[in-house]
Structure formats: C-alpha cells, structure tokens
Structure 1
Amino acid sequence: MRAALVPLVKEGLDGGILSEAGCPGIADPGAALVREAHRQGLKVVPLVGPSSLLLALMASGLNGQQFAFHGYLPIEKAPRAAAIKTLEREAQQRQQSQLFIETPYRNGSLFSDLLAHLQPGTRLCVAADVTGAGEFIKTLPVSDWRRLPAPELHKIPTVFVIGT
C-alpha cells in the first residue's frame, strides 16, 4: 500500500486511507502509511469520522477525561489474566477508563476471562457492533454481568472498557 500511494501523492494526486473498523491509524495499521507521509514531508489531513473506540467510551458512562487504549490483550490465559488485573488496578488507581479490543472470533473467551478475573464492583462496558444494525452497548458492574446471560459477541467487532 505504502509503495503505491506515496508516489501518487508526491505527484500531486490526493490520496487517503479508509478503514472498515474505525479510524485509520487508531487500532488500525494505517499509522505506518501516515508515518511515511510525514517522513517524506507530505501534508497529512485527518478527517472526522466515526471511531468505535471513542463512541464506545462516550456511551459507556465511564471516565472520558482520563482513558487509555491498549489494543489487543495477550491471547494466552496466564498473561491475559495478568493484563486484566493490571488494567483494573490502573483504572482504580488513576480513575482512568481502560479500553481494549479483541479479534471478533475470540470475544467470548475474553468476556469470560474478564468476568473471571475482574472484581465484582469494577464496571465493564461491552460495546458491540457500534453504529451497526445490531448495536449493543451496556455498562454494568461485573457482579451484574455474572448474573446475566453472556451477550452474543462471536464475530462481532467489540470494544471493552473497564472503569470505576
């Protein structure tokens, strides 16, 4: 992609990055192309568009003044459990919302791990298919999530947010 687009822009043509899953460069590999454009002195113009990360945070009711995005958590059980506990501590100590995502076919596993490793009073937002026809956004304490049937998240783009 970089090899094809950058020379065209250098010749005076407009170029752009579109993403099917949010904003290019945010949880998306578009950052490498933008970095190359900056390296070559090309003008970079961001355009306003929906970002499932920010929309999830906006709808979560969790702290939008202090937040961090962590991308993907580890896949292996022990490192994932450690990461979940670390993010929960960060949320509590810093009063900071913690956002992360997962490959859609592993959402159910991540959701189960969150319920297994988070404290009952920690708030968890599950934001699935944001802006899509099946949009589901709900924030509850983990103790409440444990009493409910798990939401259907298999193969559905989902953002997870934990906070206090």
Structure 2
Amino acid sequence: MTGTLYLIPNTLGATDAAPRALSHVLPEQVQDIASKLDYFVAENAKTARAFLKLVGIDHPLARPLQEIQIAELNVNTPAQALDALLAPLLAGRDAGLVSEAGVPAVADPGADLVRLAHQHGITVRPLVGPSSLLLAVMASGLNGQSFAFNGYLPTDAAQRAKRIGQLEARSRSEKQTQLLIETPYRNGAMLEALVANCQPGTLLCVATDLSLPSESVTTLSAAKWKARLAAGKGPDFHKKPTVFLFLAQ
C-alpha cells in the first residue's frame, strides 16, 4: 500500500517563534499532520526546517528535527529525479510537500511531483493554508469570477511592454483579472511598467506582505497610480513579496 502525499502550506513570511504563532494562518489539523511526518519534499530544506521548528512549538515533532528527512525539489531539479522523491511513498511512507511560501504546487515546482504521484496511484491530500494569489484576488475588488495567473513577465523592457499590452487586451475582451508576480527587489520597476503601458482607466491592485502585520492592499486606476508615483507616494514594497493584479475597463 502506498503512502499519502500531503500538500502542506507554509506561511507567507517571517513568523515569531512563539506559542500559537502559526494559528492565524494554519489550522491545528494541518500543523498536527505536519508534526507526525518524517519525510518531506521541499523547495528549500533550510526553509522547511524553519517551518517545522515553528510547528514543533505547539505540536511536538514525531522525531527530532535533525532526524527528519528533507529532499529538495526546485527549478533546478531534473525531471528524472522525481521518481526517487516518490520512492518512499511507493514503499508505504507518508510524505509532506512544502513550498518556500504559501501553498505547494501553485506557482511552485511541486506541481510536477503531484502529477507524477497521481500517475503512480498515490493519494494526494491538499491541506488548507494561505495562498497569496487567492488572498490578493479576494482583497483587490477586481473580477473574482474569472482570473489568470501569468507568473513573471519578461525582464526586457520592450518585451515586457508588449506582454502587458497583450494581457490588458485579454483582460478587456474577457473581463478577466490578470495576476503577476515579480522578484521583490524589482517591484518598483514592475509597477512603473504597468502604469506606463496600461490604459489610464485600467484598475491596478498592488498587494504586499499578505497575511503579515505589514500587509498592504491598494487598488487604483493606472492614472491615479501614475499621479502617486509622480508625487513620490508609491507603495512601501521594496524587497517585499507582492502580487500585482489588473482589470481593464
């Protein structure tokens, strides 16, 4: 009998190492399941250990942290290595898939492992936790009936401008909210590119540090964002995880 692959959400940012520190983002059941596992597949082993350390404050780990096996799966992992990551599950061992932040397998390399798990008949159980993309859609006031996540845009300015134009045209024709992310230190350049290339009436939301004490969500027209930037009143989002959303009118 095969083991179960649990999809375990992580926090969206730093959390104090204190009792009940995870309670506002992760249900007790999720923490309890995570505490009982001794094999994890994670985007980053160091981050996964920090997460398990937090879990262990209220839910003692089944094994000492140094004895818990953590295998890495990230953008550099070759496809042929996935079978080895699933081998313990095929042998009957339960495992947890943990992302760097938020939910695994969404904008995350873990999706490939989940697909392979299904091919092998392994039970996959998604657990409840924070998703920056869904939180951003919820808080934006934009269309939550139809939306698309587009990941990262090209870094080349001309190609990025062209892509923004394509997505804005799609947003207008389909009345669809478009979601983007950027490397946090380039947030400013992304907002400037959106403001410069979107029509003045296009609604643009900037959602930063979601679920954290420093959380900020603001939706304005591109024209109003342009005025704010010109006045030096841009958002405080340098090096902070941010989701950008827009909806053409």
Could you state the TM-score of these two structures normalised by the residue count of structure 2?
0.63
Aligned residue for 1:17, secondary structure, equals strand
In the TM superposition, structure 1's runs of 4+ consecutive aligned residues that sit over 2 Å from their partners are: 1-5
Residue 159 in 1 paired to residue 239 in 2?
A: no
Contact 1:22/1:53 (<8 A) preserved: no
CA distances 1:73-119 after superposition (whole Å, capped 9, x unpaired):
11110110011111111111111100111111211111111111111
2:216 to 136, 151, 154: 136
Counterparts of 1:38 and 1:88, CA distance in 2: 35
1:28 equivalent in structure 2: 108
Stretches of structure 2 that go unaligned for 5 or more consecutive residues are: 1-71, 73-81
Residue 87 in 1 paired to residue 171 in 2?
A: no
CA distances 1:13-41 after superposition (whole Å, capped 9, x unpaired):
21111123221111111112112212222
Q: Which moved more, 1:76-85 or 1:147-156?
A: 147-156
1:119 equivalent in structure 2: 199
Code of the residue aligned with 2:159 in structure 1: it is P
Matched residues, number? 164
Residue 75 in 1 paired to residue 133 in 2?
A: no
- Percent identity for Structure 1 against Structure 2: 53
Residue pairs, 1:42-53, within 5 angstroms: 42-53=122-133
Shift of 1:127: 0.4
1:150 to 234, 240, 249: 234
Could you state the TM-score of these two structures normalised by the residue count of structure 1?
0.94
Shift of 1:152: 2.2
Contact 1:5/1:15 (<8 A) preserved: no
